[in-house]
Structure 1
Amino acid sequence: MGYFSRSVIFHDLDTDNLPYEKVGKNEPVCIADEVPFEIPDSWVWARLGMISSYSHTKQKINAQNANLDMWGLDLEDIEKGGRLLARKTVGERKAVGDKTFFDSGDILYSKLRPYLLKILVAPDCGICTPEIVPFKVFGKLNPEYIVAFLKCPYVNAIINAVTYGVKMPRVGTETMADLLVPIPPLSEQKRIVEKLNEVTPLTDSYAEVYVRVAGLNQEFPELLKKSILQEAVQGKLVPQDPADEPASVLLKRIRSEKEQLIKAGKIKRDKHESVIFRRDNSHYEKLDGIDRC
């Protein structure tokens, strides 16, 4: 038997209507301070260790003794958030060392770096790295609902507050078995899963858009600065004033100034001096005595 396998949580309707827990033959203990939020009247609280085989002993096998055609699951095959990226056989993976058996329909939970939420329902049977804990749920509980529960912020916060190991944090078996799980009626579990399957693709699409927008927001100040500079040198940043002296007059003064400097011997005459002017509503350049559009 695993942790809290004989736990019963109930509300004492005859006295204070608060949640109590009775473990084995011990006296009931009020757990009102431990219950994180209110649930509908038709729901109940239960420990994960009571409703599942999470803390039960797992069946192990050395990979070298496993069927080469069997699915061999590693953590790298699961994307952050729980999406399965690849399926390789034991032979393809050239797996070595101790592995854990799992059945189709088992919940696969990564106890290593649990904040990555590498959690899913196994679509087939196989063997996996010991960093993944396969477990079953009892009483025809919907495993997809339990997966959704394990991914929720409430659970994530609890688990990541008590992981051990700095570089490679892991969550302990007792912590997981001790988790309080809100259990809806079976029919409502099904409806919850169906609704999650309906809205999750939309939230995933929104997440992709959000990432792109966040990237644009980060780049925007620099892009805006470049855009303003471009507007400035194209004469579009400020309104034109007809009273302003034309820049062509300024250019004539520059040529006159340069001519004075040449006569004074301060600069040399440019043998390939460029003169740009407008004609026929187009721009021309006079270079080496030749006009070109």
Structure 2
Amino acid sequence: MSVERLITDNIDVWTSTVKTKSASGRGSSKKIELYGIKKLRELILELAVRGKLVPQDPTDEPASVLLERIAEEKAQLIKDKKIKKNRKQPTITQEEIYFPVPANWGYARLEDIYDVRDGTHDSPKPTLEGYPLVTSKNLSSGKLDLSDVKLISKEDHLKVQERSCVDRDDILFAMIGSIGNPVIVDIDVEFSIKNVGLFKYYNRLLSCPNYLNYFLKYAAEIMKKQSAGGVQPFVSLGKLRGFVMLLPPLAEQNRIVTKVDELMSLCDQLEQQTETSIEAHQTLVEVLLNTLTSRADAQELMQNWQRISEHFDALFTTEKSIDTLKQTILQLAVMGKLVPQDPNDEPAVKLLERIAEEKAQLIKDKKIKKQKALPEISEDEKPFDLPSGWEWSRFGDLGYDLGGGTPSKGNSEYWGGPIPWVSPKDMKRDYIDSAIDNVTDKAILETTIKLIPENSLLMVVRGMILAHSFPVALTKKSVVINQDMKALIFNNIEPEFLLVVMKGIKNEMVDLVDRSSHGTCKLVSDKLWNVVLAIPSLRQQRQIVEKTSELLNICDQLKARLKESQTTQLHLTDAIIDKAL
């Protein structure tokens, strides 16, 4: 089967097979990987280096003759003292040849075909003016990027040039960190390299740089698996020089490059179309769900939901669409649109009066300090029409707040106790009953940290996470918190209801975050405690919690089924790849 046929016959597999990226790190905006198209690109490269991409031409000059001519050029360069003679490499073993070699192909170690070097291993002193020092990060985009590069002096540059002078058409290869990312040098700017492999030619006329570039992309995947190092994996110059390359005749190298370019261009088109389709699908989901949370009466709300429910199976087919549905459910809960209203319920104003009375008593008993009164809620601050019996309240009026701190790390008597010391890194779940670090009773007695009771609401108010999220959680036992957190201690409000509310207004909370020029994110107390919330009766709060839990569980089931389907698609994609090879 031709590669074109392989692509077209399985077009749905390539474009529909996606993989969710890891949630760790300061994530990219793209949370899914187009796994099918990624595997298709890998397949094209593998077919290319196996000699299965273009027909063999018996009239081509055999690769064995090409290797002899390259060896002669190398020997002459050594004789003329233009390059040094490297130590002799061991004979190539069968284990180093990963698959059968076509009849007119040959194989050799990379250093027998190319002049393989690397850059400096030192750290030249940065200067305000001078020559760019290229490292692995400047290759990470798949192109040579000098937009973020340190400059070094002419003296240091000339030292590096003695070891590894870079010319146009040479190929650079990242040797540390993200191994690989080979790029062809397509500029005439002078620069130095550090911890980067350099492939030069014994005779440019006997080489096809684009074929070498494609081969190195394939080889990089093997080298990554064989690389040394832990946090910073690396491949040594010796490994790079000794890697075995299966070499086609020069004429076939050029034909392969033409075909790979053509097929990679097709992959680019598929990728663009798939991304556009995914983005359009998500936009449609968001527009339709927004009609549920807009200012609409009950009849219009039902009409909007009917429109969505008729196409439910087609709409909620990605993790992002299901996450958007979950957020909409939380928003509907906040707005009182999730459960019917009961005119017999006690009005929320009575509930808020009891909360205010209890807070006043705590102040009178000197259990908490009197806080500055929060301003009256203006009409402009009310984001939607309240259901009958509900009431608006400032967040800070629902209870009283406590901050946190860090006991001295130098005092061992403060640490290792039974009391969880909660920091933002612990705020990855809805309920907190433990933490990575714990403190002792002595720490509470002798430092400024305060014990926060069970069923209090914890919030992160400082940290990079606030750029895109607002972590909240309920305490299930007494805890203390660090200085990047705030806690609201409250009674007369259903704890799970308050958790639902704060998760439901996540986007609004993120919009309140202040961002400094160097990226620090902070939600100041004045903005936090002045947030306006809609409060129903206690009975209604419990109903909302129950209904929200029920609907979110259905969403989680949808996600689980989606993951099963995605796993099946991944296996199908891998099976097609294996069959093609």
Aligned residue in 2 for 1:38? 100
Query: Are the counterparts in 1 of residues 173 and 181 from structure 2 also a CA contact under 8 Å?
Result: yes
- Structure 2 unaligned runs (5+)? 1-62, 65-86, 294-299, 311-342, 345-387, 389-581
Deviations 1:3-61 (A, max 9, x none): xxxxxx98xxxxxxxxxxxxx999x9673333111232111111112111215x76899
Residue in structure 2 matched with residue 143 of structure 1 by the alignment = 209
8 Å contact 1:73–1:87 — kept in the other structure?
Answer: no
Match of 1:106 among 163, 170, 182: 170
Structure 2 partner of 1:156: 220
**For the pair shown, which has the larger CA radius of gyration, 1 or 2?**
1
One-letter amino acid of the structure 1 residue matched with residue 225 of structure 2: A
Q: Who is 1:5 aligned against?
A: none
CA positional deviation for 1:185:
1.0
Q: Is the 8 A contact 1:102 1:125 kept in 2?
A: no
Residues 1:210 and 1:171: Cα distance change in structure 2 (over 3 Å): farther
- Structure 1 residues 198, 157: closer, same or farther in 2, change over 3 A? closer
Report 1:34-73 matches (<5 A): 34-55=96-117, 72-73=133-134
Aligned letter for 1:144?
A: N
Distance, in Å, in 1 between the alignment partners of 2:145 and 2:276 is 22
Distance, in Å, in 2 between the alignment partners of 1:227 and 1:62 is: 54
Alignment of 1:1-293 (within 5 A): 31-55=93-117, 72-80=133-141, 82-86=142-146, 93-95=150-152, 99=160, 100-115=164-179, 117-123=180-186, 124=188, 126-139=190-203, 140-152=206-218, 155-211=219-275, 226=289, 233-234=302-303, 236=306
One-letter amino acid matched to 2:207: L
Cα deviation code 1:168-223 (max 9, x no counterpart): 21111222122111111111111222233333333233234444556778x69x76
Residue identity in the other structure for 2:201: V
Change (3 A) 1:228 1:76: same
Q: Distance in 1 between matches of 2:247 and 2:199?
A: 17
Extract structure 1 runs of 4+ deviating beyond 3 A.
57-66, 68-77, 85-88, 96-100, 208-217, 222-232, 235-239
8 Å CA contact 2:170, 2:200 repeated in 1:
yes
Q: How far apart, in 2, do the equivalents of 1:30 and 1:175 lie?
A: 13
- On the 8 A contact 1:59/1:101 being kept in 2, the answer is no
- Alpha-carbon distance change, 228 to 143 in structure 1, aligned in 2, over 3 angstroms: same
Give the helix-richer structure, 1 or 2.
2
Instruction: Say whether the 8 Å CA contact 1:103–1:125 is kept in structure 2.
Output: no
Provide the TM-score with structure 2 as the length reference: 0.30
Deviation at 1:148, TM superposition (A): 0.5
> Hey, which of these two has a bigger chunk of strand by percent?
1
> Quick one: structure 1 residues 60 and 74, their matched pair in 2 at CA, closer, same or farther if it must change by over 3 Å?
closer
Relative to structure 1, is the Cα distance of residues 173 and 69 closer, same or farther in structure 2, using a 3 angstrom cutoff? closer
How far 1:146 moved relative to its partner? 0.9
- Give the gaps of 5 or more residues in structure 1: 1-8, 11-23, 240-256, 259-273, 275-293
- Structure 2 CA distance for aligned equivalents of residues 60 and 113 of structure 1: 14
Q: Which amino acid aligns with 1:187?
A: A
Q: CA separation in 1, counterparts of 2:270 and 2:132?
A: 33
Distance change >3 Å, CA 114–CA 52, structure 1 → 2: farther
Contact 1:72 1:87 in 2 (8 A): no
Count of residue pairs the alignment pairs up: 210
State the AA in 2 paired with 1:147. N
Q: Is the 8 A contact 2:144 2:185 kept in 1?
A: no
Distance 1:131 1:216, change over 3 A: farther
Query: How many angstroms apart in 2 are the aligned matches of 1:168 and 1:187?
Result: 39
Name the structure 2 match of 1:266.
none
Who is 2:497 aligned against?
A: none
Could you say if the C-alpha distance between residues 114 and 47 of structure 1 is closer, same or farther in structure 2, counting changes exceeding 3 Å? farther
Identify if the C-alpha distance between structure 1 residues 78 and 205 changes in structure 2 by more than 3 Å, giving closer, same or farther: farther
- Contact 1:46–1:181 (Cα < 8 Å) also in 2: yes
- Distance, in Å, in 2 between the alignment partners of 1:215 and 1:113 is 31
CA gap 1:76/1:158 in 2 versus in 1, 3 angstroms: closer
Deviation at 1:72, TM superposition (A): 4.7
Residues 191 and 70 of structure 1: CA distance in aligned 2, closer, same or farther (over 3 Å): farther
Q: Is the 8 A contact 2:140 2:178 kept in 1?
A: no
CA contact (8 A) 1:53 1:135 kept: yes
| CA distance, structure 2, for counterparts of residue 58 and residue 78 of structure 1 | 14
**2:105–2:247 contact (8 Å) kept in structure 1:** yes
Rounded to whole Å, the distance in 2 between the matches of 1:29 and 1:93 is 41
1:46 maps to a residue whose letter is A
Q: 1:213 to 1:47 in 2, by over 3 A?
A: farther
Residue type matched to 1:161 in 2? K
Give the match for residue 525 of structure 2: none
What amino acid maps onto 2:302 in structure 1?
A: V
